[in-house]
Structure 1
């Protein structure tokens, strides 16, 4: 038979020693798991701050033919946000079948604090009835106050008043 732990005699002592060892390990693992979980349990101040940022609403307001191009009217509503010196976005136009047709980088700024503006730009070589969807693919630049590309992208809410969808 094996050696008993000091202070433990016979099979009963070994069982008690094994039980004490298992209980100690279980308590250690539980404590470590609680420590690992505690940072996740604390609210993330950075993510809360981002969710509290006022929305930056961008609306696809109108599409109209302009020669061989489709003139696009974008309404940028910064009604509750700080001024932006620059807001450059990466857009993709998809046809009515969902196939990407054109990519365009567009400067929508500057946008004054608590102001709404309309910006026009053309998708050259693309007829308006062929546009089924406009995708805000990314924010290329966002400058003003403490704005970053990431924080601007998180603030943007897209809508459309045209037959073409507009989303991010």
Structure 2
């Protein structure tokens, strides 16, 4: 003898109960070009850097090509973002001597020159790079 009401309730409970999907976080190394500030000696550039690579970054250095508003390369610089804890966002400011903020038209990530820490492979910093900007300046790879 089967207990049909219990079986029906169990079947209904399976239909109504929420299905919990296990989400896998996609690794990312996010850089946001956040602000420019003119100074007496040049331009202070502010970035937000977020490490979502799954491990501590002991050192991350980014080689950037800076273009003027006419599209010509002004200079290539390497900025050291130092250590970045996993899951943390960090504000970093860099003083670029001799650069006029209002002449900056584009920032290109030319390369990742250092990607060291508890992450593998070391190329993941470039492979998982996500760029964004809050300014009217093109920022990308």
TM range (shorter): 0.7 to 0.9
TM-score, L = length of structure 2: 0.77
Kept after mapping to 2: 8 A contact 1:139/1:149: no
Alignment correspondent of 1:159: 132
Q: How many Å separate the matches in 2 of 1:68 and 1:130?
A: 14
Per-residue displacement from partner, 1:111-137 (whole Å, max 9, x unpaired)?
011100011102211100000011110
Q: How many Å separate the matches in 1 of 2:63 and 2:53?
A: 23
Instruction: Name the structure where helix makes up a greater proportion of residues.
Output: 1
Task: Give RMSD over aligned pairs.
Answer: 1.5
TM-score, L = length of structure 1: 0.65
Say which of 89, 101, 105 aligns to 2:62: 89
Where structure 1 has 5 or more consecutive residues not aligned to the other structure, the ranges are 1-51
Alignment correspondent of 1:131: 104
Alignment correspondent of 1:20: none
Per-residue displacement from partner, 1:64-94 (whole Å, max 9, x unpaired)?
1011311000100124632100001101110
Alignment correspondent of 1:66: 39
Where structure 2 has 5 or more consecutive residues not aligned to the other structure, the ranges are 1-24
Who wins on radius of gyration, i.e. which is larger?
Answer: 1
Alpha-carbon distance change, 149 to 97 in structure 1, aligned in 2, over 3 angstroms: farther
Alignment correspondent of 1:150: 123
Name segments (4+ residues, structure 1) moved above 2 Å: 146-149
Alignment correspondent of 1:100: 73
Aligned residues: 117
Instruction: Name the structure where strand makes up a greater proportion of residues.
Output: 2
